């Protein structure tokens, strides 16, 4: 059977899942999507994501590709898959792409947002880190030039991170305050395991006055996981967008 390659954009709440990538005997986003493909096509379909998201992390724009029988048009494929997916995972974009397209290797950058709620909230508790003390946001912003550009981020990733190359190029990074909410947005060519959460959590330590900006810079320079970085909870992190060049033109984008 001739197969054609399709790209998909998916949105999910990661609370109930042990990350995107398949894990033995653990619920994952990939497992749920592949089960939906099995139900739709009666075939075992393996998907390839643009990258992993950790346990409990959410996505507004995760990308994956899959090789499928070319018998369901894009404008029907997304809705058909959604009918087999749990309510906390949704396909929001589908496009037929060149058979050489690769969701991971063709991506030129990724953009994440980490959300903090400064105070008490019930409705946002699964999507934000609740912090009950005031933060010195100006001090946290002084950390941003420290991480801008290409650096070795060994100090800000899990010790079991598999890749030997720990260098990442941070293209943009910023802290923004909207009411009681504080957002850390960062875009880079690549990210290491738990890197965004460790950057956010350690900058919060600066905002609390426990670390200085110089302490933060020294942690980065040590290139050592045990150098004092603090990892923020997974629930505040969202993969917002994966960027390609040229960017994918979605033939179906969430409406029938």
Distance CA 165, CA 162 (A): 9
> Average pLDDT for residues 17-44, to the nearest whole number?
96
Q: Are 94 and 252 in contact (CB under 8 A)?
A: yes
Q: Are 131 and 40 members of one domain? A: no
What residues have CB less than 8 Å from 42, skipping those under 6 apart? none
Over 90: is that where the pLDDT of 255 sits? no
Q: Tokens standing for 213?
A: 């900006």
Give the pLDDT confidence of 195-231 residue by residue, as tens digits.
Answer: 999 999 999 999 999 999 999 999 999 999 888 999 9
Range of the domain at 92: 3-105
Considering its fold, how many domains does the chain have in total? 2
pLDDT at 225: 83
What residues have CB less than 8 Å from 87, skipping those under 6 apart? none
Catalytic residues: 54
Distance CA 64, CA 123 (A): 30
Q: Are 115 and 39 members of one domain? A: no
Over 90: is that where the pLDDT of 127 sits? yes
Q: Are 175 and 77 members of one domain? A: no
Q: Are 173 and 186 in contact (CB under 8 A)?
A: yes
**Which phi-psi region, left, alpha or beta, contains residue 119 (left: φ > 0; alpha: ψ -120 to 50)?**
left
Over 90: is that where the pLDDT of 22 sits? yes
Going by pLDDT thresholds of 50, 70 and 90, the confidence category of residue 2 is confident
pLDDT at 161: 62
Q: Are 226 and 128 members of one domain? A: yes
Asked whether residue 116 is domain-assigned, the answer is: yes
pLDDT at 162: 64
Q: Pick the residue with more confidence: 165 or 58?
A: 58
pLDDT at 160: 62
Counting every residue, how long is the chain? 256
pLDDT at 93: 98
Asked whether residue 191 is domain-assigned, the answer is: yes
> Average pLDDT for residues 73-91, to the nearest whole number?
96
Nearest to 185, CA basis, from 107, 120, 134, 110 = 110
Distance CA 233, CA 236 (A): 6
Percentage of the residues of the chain whose pLDDT score is greater than 70: 98
Exposed / middle / buried, residue 223 (Cβ in 10 Å: 0-12, 13-18, 19+): middle
Percentage of the residues of the chain whose pLDDT score is greater than 90: 92
SS3 95: strand
């Amino acid at each position: 059977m001739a197969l054609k390659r399709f790209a998909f954009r998916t949105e999910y709440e990661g609370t109930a899942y042990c990350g995107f990538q398949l894990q033995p005997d653990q619920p994952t986003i990939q497992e749920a999507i592949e089960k939906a493909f099995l139900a739709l096509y009666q075939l075992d379909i393996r998907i390839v994501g643009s990258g992993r998201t950790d346990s409990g992390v959410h996505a507004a724009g995760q990308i994956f590709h899959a090789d499928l029988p070319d018998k369901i048009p894009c404008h029907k494929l997304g809705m058909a898959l959604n009918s087999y997916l749990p309510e906390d995972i949704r396909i929001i974009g589908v496009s037929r792409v060149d058979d050489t397209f690769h969701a991971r290797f063709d991506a030129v950058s990724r953009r994440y947002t980490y959300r903090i709620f400064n105070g008490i909230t019930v409705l946002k508790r699964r999507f934000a880190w609740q912090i009950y003390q005031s933060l010195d946001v100006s001090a946290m912003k002084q950390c941003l030039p420290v991480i801008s550009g290409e650096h070795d981020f060994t100090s800000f990733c899990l010790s079991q991170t598999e890749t030997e190359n720990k260098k990442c190029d941070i293209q943009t990074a910023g802290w923004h305050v909207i009411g009681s909410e504080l957002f850390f947005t960062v875009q880079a060519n690549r990210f290491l395991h738990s890197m965004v959460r460790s950057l956010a959590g350690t900058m919060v330590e600066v905002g609390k006055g426990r670390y200085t900006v110089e302490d933060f810079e020294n942690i980065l320079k040590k290139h050592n996981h045990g150098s004092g970085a603090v990892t923020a909870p997974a629930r505040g992190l969202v993969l917002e967008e994966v960027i390609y060049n040229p960017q994918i033109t979605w033939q179906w984008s969430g409406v029938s």
